[in-house]
């Protein structure tokens, strides 16, 4: 059986798209192969790494990638899912190709200007929203 290829895309590939990729690969490894990228490569958000470890998923060895890397390889995806928030939607990258386009708006963990305990609590909420959305999507595959 051919696995469904999905690319999760956001601005810097530092948080939301990384979480979505990790959840898709952990929840649907037999059905799907997930990747993530950003308009430009950023730096992996250490708070996101921390809250993903709480879920038993270690993304600390991941790196931020730009969509250009996938374009250069002429990658084809069945789905391209943008995960930018509503405020950044106009900046969210568009990935060319025949794949079906989906948009899931999630707040940007990198934009949270809060003390660390409050910031981690909010990132956990975002993580859980992403996990639930990916789980729902995976059930439909």
Exactly one of 39, 51, 80, 84 is catalytic; name it: 84
* pTM for the model: 0.93
Q: Is 84 assigned a catalytic role? A: yes
Q: What is residue 117's predicted lDDT score, i.e. its pLDDT? A: 96
How confident is the chain (141 residues) per 10-residue block, as mean pLDDT?
Answer: 91 94 92 92 94 98 93 92 73 70 91 94 98 95 86
Report the SS3 class of residue 21.
helix
Residue 46's pLDDT is what? 97
The confidence score (pLDDT) of residue 2 equals 86
pLDDT of 88:
57
Judge whether 47 and 121 are in contact, CB under 8 Å.
Answer: no
- Catalytic, out of 9, 10, 120, 130: 10
Distance of alpha carbon 128 from alpha carbon 13, whole angstroms: 18
From CA 63, how far away is CA 36, in angstroms rounded? 10
pLDDT at 1: 74
pLDDT score recorded for residue 91 = 59
4-139 in CATH: which number?
3.40.50.2300
Which of 57, 92, 102, 105 is catalytic? The answer is: 92
| Annotation says 32 is catalytic | no
Sorted by where each begins, the domain ranges of the chain are 4-139
Would you call 92 a catalytic residue per the annotation?
yes
Yes or no: say if 64 and 13 are a contact pair by the CB < 8 Å rule: yes
């Amino acid at each position: 059986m051919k696995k469904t290829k999905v690319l999760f895309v956001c601005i810097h590939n530092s948080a939301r798209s990384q979480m979505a990729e990790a959840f898709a690969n952990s929840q649907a490894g037999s059905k799907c192969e997930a990747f993530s990228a950003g308009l430009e490569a950023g730096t992996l958000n250490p708070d996101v790494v921390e809250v993903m470890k709480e879920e038993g998923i270690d993304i600390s060895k991941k790196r931020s990638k730009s969509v250009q890397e996938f374009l250069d390889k002429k990658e084809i995806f069945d789905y391209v899912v943008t995960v930018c928030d509503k405020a950044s939607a106009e900046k969210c990258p568009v990935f060319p190709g025949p794949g079906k386009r989906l948009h899931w708006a999630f707040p940007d963990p990198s934009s949270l200007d809060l003390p660390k305990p409050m910031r981690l609590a909010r990132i956990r909420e975002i993580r859980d929203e992403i996990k639930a959305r990916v789980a729902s999507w995976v059930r439909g595959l």
